[in-house]
Amino acid sequence: MPANPELTAARDLVYQGVGRNVLQFQRLELLLKRLLAWHQSTYTAETFEEDLTKRLEAQDKKTLGMLAGDLFTKVILKARPVGPADNAPPDLLSIRFGITTSEAATHEVWQAQLKALVEERNQLVHTSLLNWDLDTHEGCQAILTELDAQRERIRIEWENAKRCHEAFIQGLEQMHEDLTNGNMERFTVQDTET
């Protein structure tokens, strides 16, 4: 029996939608890896860039689920992080970057949204083709609607993480400039609330 061209075209759109969403999940994952790699450390002007690279490499093998869990225990916090970076020698400059949420409920909602998105990603990658109706035009249209809604949820979480990342990068750039220029008196503790 010859293939139905309309059904083939509908399936192709589904496959393209899956690819777009997987790429968006990867973008989010990379952004979380950067936030978690660099949220705290001990630096000198000489080791600044090398240490950042090593810390990022240490996040490479973590799954999106692990990263999402770590984000809400290490970066997005219910209370302000206090003290130097973990295991920081007292004679070296250390940083700890954290964002405190204004209410515990905000923290929990944000954490639940990201956790649900991780579950969606796992379902998309591991089981979606087993459960989808790709044999009818209507089934393909329903899948496309799901994928579009999912892509919007990914975009929202990516934007949230991007705002955190941008604030952190600004702080790192200022710190690097001050370290390089010997302007240590300009360092201040900064707390960002959402």
C-alpha 59/C-alpha 178 separation (Å) is 27
Give the residue-averaged pLDDT of 167-184.
Answer: 75
pLDDT reported for residue 114: 93
Helices (H), 93-136: 104-126, 128-131
Q: Which residues in 150-174 are b (16+ Cβ under 10 Å) and which e?
A: beebbeebbebbeebbeebeebbee
Q: How confident is the model at residue 189 (pLDDT cuts 50, 70, 90)?
A: very low
The chain-wide mean pLDDT, for the chain, equals 84
Query: What is the mean pLDDT of the segment spanning 158-175?
Result: 85
Cβ-based neighbour number of residue 131 at 10 Å: 8
Please report, rounded to a whole number, the percentage of residues in the chain having pLDDT higher than 70.
Answer: 82
Q: What backbone torsions phi and psi does residue 78 show, to the nearest 5 degrees?
A: -80, -25
Per-residue model confidence (pLDDT) at position 48: 73
Q: Could you read off the pLDDT of 72-82 as tens digits, one per residue?
A: 888 888 766 65
27 Cβ neighbours under 8 A, 6+ residues apart: 158
Residue 39 pLDDT: 79
